[in-house]
Structure 1
Amino acid sequence: MDSQKLAEAPDADASIISPWLAARRQHFDELVGGVTDYAIFMMSPEGIILDWNSGAEELKGYTAKEIVGQHFSRFYSEEDKTARFPDHELIVASAEGRFATEGWRYRKDGTRFWANVTITAIRSDAGVEGFLKITRDLTKRQQATEALRQSEERFRLLIESVADYAIFMLDPEGNVMSWNTGAHRIKGYEPEEIIGQHFSRFYPEEARLEGVPAILLERALTEGRAEDEGWRVRKDGTRFWGNVIITAVHDAAGIHRGFVKITRDLTDRRNREQIELASKRKDTFLATLAHELRNPLAPILPGVDVLLKAPHQTGRVVQVASMLRRQVDQMSRLIDDLLDLSRVTTGKIALQRDRIQLVDVVQRSVETAQPAIDAKHHRLALNLPGVPVILDADLHRLSQAVSNLLTNAAKYTPAGGEIELTVELAEGDRLLIHIKDTGIGIPAESLETIFDLFDQGTRGSSDGLGIGLTLVQTIARMHGGSIGAFSDGEGRGTEMILDLPVVASVGDAPEDELAPPVSTPSSRALRVLVADDAPNTADILCMFFELEGMHTRVAYDGLQAVESATAFRPDLVCLDLGMPQLDGFEAARRIRESQPGVVIIALSGWGSESDHARTKEAGFDFHLVKPVKPEDLRQILASRFPQKG
Structure 2
Amino acid sequence: VRLRLVPERDGSGSIVSVLGIGEDVTERVRVTSALHDSEQRLNFALDKTQTGLWDFFPQSGRLVLSDSYYTMLGYQPGAFPATYEDGWKALVHQNDKGRAVAAFESFAGPSGQRSSYAVQFRMRSRDGEWRWINSRGTAVERDSDGRAVRVVGVHLDITAQRMAEAEQRFRTDVLEHALNGFSIVDGDGHFLYANRAHLALWGYERLDEIVGTSPASHCVDPDMASRIKMVLRARNEGTFEFKARRRDGSTFDVMMACKRYIDQDGRELFTGSSIDISDRIRAGAVIRETQERLLSWTAATSSILWWADARLELAPPQPSFQAVTGFTAQRLDNGGWVEALHPDDRREVLSRRLGSADSGELYECEARIWHAPSQRYRWYLERGVPRREDSGAVLGWAGISIDIQRQKEAESALQEADRRKDEFLAMLGHELRNPLAAISTVGEIVCRHAQLSAPLASAGEILTRQTAHLGRLVDDLLDVSRLLHGKVALRCESVNVAELAQQIADDQQPQLALRRQKLMLTRPAEPVVVDGDPVRLAQILENLLSNAGKYSPDGGEIRLLISSGPGFAQIRVQDDGAGIPD
Scaled by the length of structure 1, the TM-score of the pair is 0.28
TM-score, structure 2 length as denominator? 0.31
Higher relative contact order (CA 8 A, sep 6+): 1
